[in-house]
Amino acid sequence: MARRLFCATRALLLHVPAPAPALAPSPASSAAAAEAAASLLPLLPCKRRKKLLKKLNSPRVAPIEPEAARRVPALDAVLDRDTAFRFLHRARSFLASLPPPHRIPLSEAGKLYRELGFPRGRKVARSAGRHPLLFHLPVVDSVRHLALTPFVRSLLEEERRIHDELLPSRVRAVRKLLMLTAHRRVPLAKLHHCRAVLGLPDDFRDRVRDFPDDFRVVVDPTDGRHVLELVRWDPALAVSALERDFVVDERRVRRTFRFAVPHRRLMPLDAEDADRLDAATTFPLVSPYTNGALLKPWTPEAEKYRVGVVHEFLSLTVEKRAMIHHIAEFKEEFGLTRHMYESLQKQNRAFYLAGTEMNWALFLRDAYDENGVLKEKDPLVLFNEKLQRFACMTNMGSGEAMVDAAGFD
């Protein structure tokens, strides 16, 4: 039966049990804040009303999903949680990349608002003060520094151990990613940019040389960039997540995608006939591991291929979601077009678009439950959730109690 939907099938299902969700702050939804601001428009003077209306219509604020009825607040809250913990993850990653004792002068840290993830024009000490269990401001030679606490440094050892244990599965994911590309090669800089989304360690660019049977690092003669190439094609890996899901639940996969056929109103079709017509053009789907260059552009087959590639890329991420700039990093390698946004909007059963018009994220709907909790959590996701629980503690007494419960000195 699977051959009716895909060009090739192999079933290999990896199941990771999902533990209890992590505690996280619940900031007000950005969409709700925009709606609250819009409700004040009739109460403002004309000049201030125009100024506020201009801000609300800005791509920085306007939601990517204009219809409020189609929004999923639980998934929108996931992005709000990322915003609340942006400083935590970026500052921890930046300081961890520094040599021990993992600190930087506060005057220099104030200039690195992009690298550390705090708002431009704000004081970095204010952001660090929100997480006293994780960051502190020691004075070294009469100079204040931003540094990681000894407790966080002990957590870094646990994170390194998790990366070491997951390295074989990460190598497998990168191999599948290279098999999705047109020429089986990706610049290492792009992988480094998306390392957090794919769950790769910070030193993955150095570790790839430990796998000569899978990867080869070459220098691109045109621009001098280091490029990661696939050494060998593995047919066992050329199986998409949709193909594996089809073996388990064929009916759900059939309901996931719909490539509708446009027809005029004069064509008398009831709902059942319209579904049959759409099914005839939707299936068979095109495997993302086929050669997309052989497909004619602007055809239903080419659109199926591009949608399938994006779906498979999201399935390779640790949280089954990615920001648009992460997907755009591989635009050339995946053969994506400018019309990809419209294609993704049509498949609202498979994807959910959250965020603003300028910076939006793409979710795999089936990977999350009705509460916006990831169904199958990667060990690295569980570690980040634990770190977020520690970050929420502003009382040092409760922090010491949780440290003792976690087994740290």
The distance from CA 99 to its chain's CA centroid, rounded to whole angstroms, is 28
Complete edge-to-edge strand list for the sheet that includes strand 360-364: 321-323, 360-364, 351-355
Q: Is residue 377 part of a domain?
A: no
Residue 83 tokens read as 């915003």
Q: Does a structural domain hold residue 264?
A: yes
Question: Taking 50 as the threshold, does the pLDDT of residue 7 lie above it?
Answer: no
Q: How many CB atoms lie within 10 A of CB 150?
A: 12
240 and 226 in one domain? no
Domain contains 224: yes
* Pairing state between β 143-148 and 139-140: antiparallel
Q: Is residue 400 domain-resident?
A: no
Give me the CATH number covering residue 183.
Answer: 3.30.420
Cα–chain center distance at 123? 28
- 332 within domain boundaries: yes
In contact, 381 and 24? CB cutoff 8 Å: no
Whether 17 is covered by a domain: the verdict is no
Q: Is residue 116 part of a domain?
A: no
* Tens digits of residue pLDDT in 229-279: 999 999 999 999 988 887 777 777 777 887 766 655 556 666 666 666 666
Asked whether residue 249 falls in the same domain as residue 359, the answer is yes
Looking only at Cα atoms, what is the longest distance across the chain? 83
User: For the chain, how many structural domains are there in total?
Assistant: 2
pLDDT of residue 328: 93
In a shared domain, residues 185 and 291: no
Angle of helix 30-39 relative to helix 46-56, nearest 10 degrees, comes to 160
Tell me: cis bond preceding 21? Omega within 30 of 0 counts.
Answer: no
Q: What is the pLDDT of residue 283?
A: 64
Range of the domain at 240: 235-367
Give per-residue burial for 324-361: e unless 16+ CB within 10 Å, then b: bebbebbeebbbbeeebeebbeebeebbbbbbbbeebb
pLDDT higher at 14 or 172: 172
Report the alpha-carbon distance of residue 12 to residue 15 in Å, rounded: 10
